[in-house]
Structure 1
Amino acid sequence: MKRFKGKKALLTVLLLSFLLIATTACGGGDDPADNGDNGGAERENVVRVQFNVEVASMDPQIATDGTSFEVIAAITEGLYSIDADGNPIEAMVDSVEKSEDGKTYTFTLKDAKWSNGEAVTANDFVFAWRRLVDPAVASEYAFIMEIAGVTNAAAISSGEMAVEELGVTAQDEKTLVVELDIPVPYFESLMAFPSFFPVNEAFFTAAGDSYGTSPETLISNGPFKITAYEPAATTIELAKNEEYWDAAAVALDGIEYQVIKDAQQSMLSYQNGDLDVANLSGEQVEQFQNDPEFTNVAAGYLWYVSPNQTVDGLENLNLRKAIALSFDKDAIANNILKDGSIPADFAVPKLLATGPDGKDYRETTDTYLSMDKAAAVEFWNAAKEELGVEELTYTMIVEDTESAMNVAQFLQSEIQTNLPGLTIELQTMPKKNRVERMQQGDFELGLTRWGPDYADPMTYLDMWTTGSPNNYGFWSNDEYDAIIESAKKGELALDLEARWDALKDAEKIVMDEAVIFPVYQKGDAVMIRTGVSGIEFHSVGVNKIFKNTTIE
């Protein structure tokens, strides 16, 4: 590096520095990097939201996680959406006719466009729905078409019938006809779930294997469109979709999602003005709970440990019960998370669904697998005798978010302390890898979660049927399968009160068999910047909706 020599050179440097400072001060708003506490002029109408895990897929028929669903729902709209209270409202639907027997829906679609200018047609739904149940696609969410009651869904998913036999038909460009095997009371609510969202066939075909991996391979018919995205990205940028049928009602210019897994780093970003919405955990909750920007949000996610029953020892019921009863759930909820989460002594969460009696499902059901350290030791001793061992070691896989790791470390300590001779080793990884490992059965214990897709206990109970892709533990019970099958499309499906009681019986079987070890029902402690309003939080389906969000 050369040195300036002499006064003339020094004066030149000072003059250039002054001009640079003056230019920056007067025209700083032209620099997108000039954020300031308010996000800078270029970003003042963009809401910036923290995620603690990456988006796994932007393909509505492939995605399986809440983070992916949230972004998909911001750029894509199905037949229905949900309002602030969680009720289904017409979206792509202009009008609907229902048959008297409740088994045929005829939808007339709005005059809507994709972000590439193409019209949204009935075939976009037919194509997407057939993809969902096509065995060649192998969607993890194929089961939800059967849950919706769509004719022939199960037979197609199992390879017994062709996808063209699915009960969905494009009568013309704007008329979609859906045939159901049985009336499904929550059918319209299900239509707001991303697995049922449309896909433009021509665009999908042109994108090929790259579909959903970049802004160039995604189009939108929803309030926003993707402008920056790649798989496993830590930042995802959305802009207002001017082609959206209801664009006049969308006040935001865009959304920016930032993946920040560390809670301290997230709060620093929030305090620096780089985030408008951030999640808190642990000690942060106590620190900020009196802040006017703090809020608690009820969530439907159930966190639990899944034991792989194909692993030696974990097929033993006494061992599973020992582990399930050995840890303090209250301490996890109240001392570790502190975010409004509650201990889970159940397989079906609170505030999920209301029964024929008008009461929340949990109000009239028992609780199960509550912590009982003395009983846990008894079950552990019985298991050791049955298995002929004095010591056992298992590895628990855990996603690499701060809260998940904190909970896992506590579980490890509790289990090892209360069940001497049982060792739990932890292995952390990104959520996507953890899910893949569990789907493949490549694990022993897994700390996992499930969020409700629709407001009915079946959204949880269907997971543990024989062969379900979400039955990570490979448990099987004929009596249980029969209850669930009948509740979906048999005699029980036609008697709402009997169905409700049968679902309670099914939950009891799952808990008595310790198919899972429930830990807690998630609550969210959230910071929302003053001036940001209209974010809709939901405990069922899509977690957050920003269509009606404004920034003052």
Structure 2
Amino acid sequence: MKKKYLYKTLGGFLATSVLLTGCGGGAAAGTAAGSGGSSSGKQSVSLDLITEPPTLDPAMATDTTSDFVINAAFEGLTHLGSDNKPVPGIAESWSTSQNGTVWTFKLRDAKWSNGDPVTANDFVYAWKHILNPKTGAQFANYLYYIKGAKEYNTNKGSADQVAVKAIDDHTLQVTLNTPVPFFLDLTAFHPYFPVDQKVVEKNPKWAADASTIVSDGPFKVASWQHQQKLVLQKNQNYWDKNSIKLDQVTGVIVNDLNTQYQMFKSGQLDMDVKLPATLTPKLLQSGEAKIYPLAGTYMLEFNTQKKPFDNVNIRKALSLAIDRQSLVKDVTQQGETPAYAFVPPGDPGKNGDFRKEGGDLFKDDVAQAKQLLAQGLKEEGLSQLPPITYQYNTVDYNKKIAEAIQQMWKKNLGVDVTLQNEDWKIYLDKLTKGDFQIGRMGWIQSYTDPSAELDLLKSDFGSNYTRWKNKQFDKYVNEAETTTDVSKRMDDMHKADQLIIDQAPVAPLFFYTNVFAFNKKIDGIVVHPSDTFPDVRYMSVK
């Protein structure tokens, strides 16, 4: 997307990734002014989703807005605890073989929101469905750790060869190609969620309307007025319903950050999940807003199959001509850190933080950018760059960043750039089809490991919109994901991180933060570094 995800793309946030898009608006229905409850006495909270969720099908979601709703409505074998570590979900226990490749999960007596039992076969069906090449799921790659999964997804094997099977209704067995130290984190990520096979087979469009969505998580989708509002209600069939304090979560869709903030101040919203940049410093200083960790990178993606962006020197020139310090200080103002590498802080390294161990891999350098641009133009037989279009999804935050970079490229390189914005769903479709030159994107890690960020640029990754293919990069990342030698895998991932900077299929701009403001009546605030929204399963109203 993203996560959450990634690839969680921060789409309107995407994810997918930050800043979502969307349109329409309106106050949060069912929530009393002043918030944190309703006239019926039920516990109710409201927030702005910012953008319409492109899909609520766990197999197809790639963005952070969809991920937020899916995480609230569905549950996998595990889910993230309040300490960000995976805890039992639909699986009440598990065991592994001595070599760490065979996992056996014991499922609890859980039900779907329509009363159907959740069975091991629902997982088998869901996982093979996302791997089916005809499904076209961009996140199918996340299941490649399973033996036979990649072969099936790439038409080199059959569904029967995918090593996941239901021993009985309450026992699921999975065989991996090699030991995967973060496998339990993956099972908390939406591509690994089950779906009710009966429902999906009966109606292929089951995830498009609230009346046909069947889920197994803490909440269910009660109503969905597209481009306006989505309401989640407590799922009375959820196995752990007694731990869920909220009765209702209302997500409105207001694609204007100033309007969102005014709704928050007037009590129409209980949470402000994306504050206007001009107000953020003041709100942080006063304590009204707070910064939460977010493991992700905001970047520009170059379409490396379109001229002149098939030229590495031209790509590097545009990247080096950006003043990242000014961008975060004067434009975004959300407490972000300038990105002088691709992998963000927070991931484990050999003995500490991966990013700290790797350090900065480049610096902004206008003089070098001019030299690289001249060299690239000479290689392409050009006297100047042809018309360039910078595309982004419609959110004021993205617009300000785009305008700032447009001015930097004009001032530092004499390059004229046209800006073009689109609704998030349309924009994402254009990236998928390769209908762009330069596009903004964000990537939020779905689990805490450098590979969660690096996966995005693997040749076979579904959301690698850059079309960049590098065999050495793939080798580094694949070997890092298949060895238990910590020193070697970290060395390989540092090499992969450096190769991204050397080849510049993307221009990392800054590392994300979450900046939220909450109604003082809200308790149980949990924000995972892999999410761009708070986890409502732990939330309550004082």
- What's the TM-score, normalizing by structure 2? 0.91
Q: Does 1:371 align with 2:364?
A: yes
For 2:426, the equivalent position in structure 1 comes to: 433
Give the aligned partner of residue 402 of structure 2. Answer: 408
Following superposition, the deviation at residue 543 of structure 1 comes to 4.4
In the other structure, the counterpart of 2:517 is: 527
The alignment status of 1:418 with 2:412, answered yes or no, reads yes
Among 318, 325, 329, the alignment partner of 2:313 is 318
Structure 2 CA distance for partners of 1:419 and 1:535, relative to 1, 3 Å: same
The residue that corresponds to 1:118 in the other structure is: 116
Contact 1:297 1:340 in 2 (8 A): no
Identity of matched residues, %: 27
Name 2:140's counterpart in structure 1: 142
Q: Give 3-state SS (helix, strand or coil) of 1:448's partner.
A: strand
Q: Is the 8 A contact 1:324 1:369 kept in 2?
A: no
Residue deviations 1:420-450, cap 9 Å, x none? 1x21111101122221111111100001111
Secondary structure of 2:207 counterpart: coil
Residue 56 of structure 1 aligns to a residue whose secondary structure is coil
Superposition map of 1:1-150 within 5 A = 35-38=32-35, 40-42=38-40, 45-146=43-144, 149-150=145-146
Q: Which moved more, 1:405-414 or 1:542-551?
A: 542-551
Q: Does the 8 Å contact 1:293/1:530 carry over to 2?
A: no
**Whose RCO is larger (CA < 8 A, sep 6+)?**
2
The aligned residue for residue 262 of structure 2 is 268
Q: CA deviation at 1:301?
A: 2.3
What letter is aligned with 2:323?
Answer: D
Residue identity matched to 2:50: N
**2:211 and 2:223 in contact (8 A); partners too:** no
Q: Which amino acid aligns with 1:36?
A: A
Q: Distance in 1 between matches of 2:393 and 2:41?
A: 32
User: Secondary structure of 2:411's partner?
Assistant: helix
Matches of 2:321 and 2:231, distance apart in 1? 44
Is the 8 Å Cα contact of residues 322 and 377 (structure 1) preserved in structure 2?
Answer: yes
- 1:465 to partner: Cα distance: 2.1
Q: Is the 8 A contact 2:390 2:419 kept in 1?
A: yes
Deviates more, 1:254-263 or 1:59-68: 254-263
Instruction: Indicate the residue corresponding to 1:29 in structure 2.
Output: none
Secondary structure of 2:67 counterpart: helix
C-alpha deviation, 1:207, in angstroms: 2.1
- Please tell me whether residue 300 in structure 1 is matched to residue 298 in structure 2: no
Instruction: Kindly provide the CA deviation profile for residues 45-74 of structure 1, in whole angstroms up to 9, marking residues without a partner as x.
Output: 211012222211100011011111111010
Q: Tell me, yes or no, if the aligned pair for 1:73 and 1:542 is still in contact at 8 Å.
A: no
Distance 1:310 1:33 in 2: 49
Q: Which of 449, 455, 471 in structure 2 is aligned with 1:478?
A: 471
What residue identity is the alignment partner of 1:222? G
1:227 and 2:222 matched: yes
Deviations 1:323-354 (A, max 9, x none): 00011111111111111211111111111x21
Aligned to 1:155: 151
Equivalent position of 1:342 in the other structure: 337
Aligned to 2:437: 444
SS at match of 1:530: coil
Per the normalisation by structure 1, the TM-score is 0.90
1:541 deviates by 5.5
In the TM superposition, what are the counterparts of 1:213-292 in structure 2 within 5 Å? 213-229=208-224, 232-278=226-272, 279-292=274-287
Q: In the aligned structure 1, how far is the partner of 2:138 from the partner of 2:305?
A: 21
Change (3 A) 1:358 1:234: farther
Q: Residue 68 of structure 1: SS of its match in structure 2?
A: helix
Structure 1 residues 168-177 or 383-392, which shifts more? 383-392
* Contact 1:394–1:423 under 8 Å retained in 2: yes
1:328 aligns with 2:323: yes
2:479 and 2:492 in contact (8 A); partners too: no
Counterpart residue type for residue 204 of structure 1: V
Cα distance in 2 between the residues matched to 1:363 and 1:36 = 45
- Give the Cα–Cα distance (whole angstroms) in 1 for the partners of residues 531 and 184 of structure 2: 13
Structure 1: gaps of 5 or more residues? 1-31
Report the Cα distance in structure 2 between the residues aligned to 1:281 and 1:42, rounded to whole angstroms: 33
Output the CA distance in 2 between the equivalents of 1:201 and 1:34: 35
- Any idea what the Cα deviations from partners look like across 1:377-428, whole Å, max 9, x if unmatched? 11122222222323222101101011011101111110111101x2111110
SS for the counterpart of 2:46 is: strand
* 1:223-273 residue CA offsets vs partner (Å, 9 max, x unmatched): 11111115x533110111111111111111110112222111011100111
Which residue of the partner structure matches residue 13 of structure 1? Answer: none
> 1:293, CA displacement in angstroms?
3.4
Matched, 1:167 2:154: no
1:477 alignment partner AA: N
The residue number in structure 1 matching 2:374 is: 381
Contact map agreement 2:31 2:268 (CA 8 A) in 1: no
- Note closer, same or farther for the CA distance 1:521–1:308 as it changes in structure 2 (3 Å cut): same
Aligned amino acid, residue 407 of structure 1: I
Deviation for aligned residue 1:365: 0.5
User: Quick check: 312-321 or 404-413, which moved more?
Assistant: 312-321
Decide which structure has the larger Cα Rg and report it.
Answer: 1
SS at match of 2:230: strand
Q: Tell me how far 1:312 sits from its aligned partner.
A: 1.4
- The more displaced of 444-453 and 283-292 is 283-292
8 Å CA contact 1:313–1:319 kept in 2: the answer is yes
Give 1:219 deviation, angstroms: 1.1
Tell me how far apart the structure 2 counterparts of residues 249 and 293 of structure 1 sit (CA, whole Å). 28
Q: Secondary structure at the match of 1:453?
A: coil
| 2:178 counterpart (163, 177, 182) | 182
Distance 1:245 1:37 in 2: 32
Residue 229 of structure 1 aligns to a residue whose secondary structure is strand
Q: What is the CA distance between 1:551 and its match in structure 2? A: 0.5
Distance (whole Å) between structure 2 residues aligned to residue 87 and residue 326 of structure 1: 39
How many Å apart are 1:286 and its aligned residue? 2.6
1:223–1:241 Cα contact (<8 Å) kept: yes
Any idea what SS the aligned residue of 1:227 has? strand
- Aligned residue for 1:3? none
Amino acid at match of 1:445: I
- How far is 1:36 from its partner? 3.0
Q: How does 1:500-539 map to 2 (within 5 A)?
A: 500-539=490-529
- d(CA) in 2 for partners of 1:97, 1:316: 49
Aligned AA (2:161): E
Letter aligned with residue 361 of structure 2:
Y
What displacement does 1:112 show?
Answer: 0.9
Match of 1:196 in 2: 192
Q: 1-side partners of 2:294 and 2:139: how far apart?
A: 21
Counterpart amino acid of residue 327 in structure 1: I
- CA shift, 1:95, in A, is 1.6
